[in-house]
């Protein structure tokens, strides 16, 4: 690949990253509003590995030492917390933990069983 082509590729990549960086503070809510050009292949904060968890965009997700255990307990940096609900996010609308969802997954997790229409 010659230098002109590589420079053009770099310019396109930088422009796509700038477009994604502009979305980082206030990302679109609808999938249709996200970029559908070269920018759709870029990620917030740039390529992985350039910043630590606490320095990059992932810092908005909470402390890196939070661990959710199978028994429902939560620990932070190895210490169990008194109120695990403090470390739970809002349920994803329509997801299995959404109390207003009517999907088979939400019914299964809440203990409801679908009635068998056969027989």
User: Structural domain boundaries of the chain?
Assistant: 3-64
The predicted model scores a pTM of 0.40
Alpha-carbon distance 76 to 15, whole Å? 39
Q: Number of C-alpha atoms within 13 angstroms, CB side, residue 31?
A: 0
Name, in order, each residue with C-beta under 8 angstroms of 93's C-beta and a sequence gap of 6 or more.
100, 101
Cβ pair 56, 76 in contact under 8 A: no
pLDDT, tens digit, 9 for 90 and up, residues 75-101: 999 999 999 988 888 888 888 778 887
Cβ pair 91, 99 in contact under 8 A: yes
Alpha-carbon distance 55 to 106, whole Å? 35
pLDDT, tens digit, 9 for 90 and up, residues 31-67: 888 888 888 888 776 566 667 777 777 777 778 888 9
């Amino acid at each position: 690949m010659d230098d002109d082509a590589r420079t053009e590729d770099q310019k396109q990549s930088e422009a796509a990253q700038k477009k994604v960086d502009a979305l980082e503070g206030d990302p679109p809510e609808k999938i249709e509003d996200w970029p559908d050009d070269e920018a759709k292949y870029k990620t917030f904060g740039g390529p992985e590995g350039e910043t630590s968890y606490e320095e990059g965009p992932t810092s908005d997700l909470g402390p890196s030492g939070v661990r959710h255990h199978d028994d429902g307990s939560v620990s932070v940096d190895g210490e169990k917390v008194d109120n695990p609900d403090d470390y739970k996010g809002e349920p994803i609308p329509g997801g299995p933990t959404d109390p207003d969802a009517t999907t088979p997954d939400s019914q299964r997790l809440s203990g409801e069983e679908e009635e068998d229409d056969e027989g």
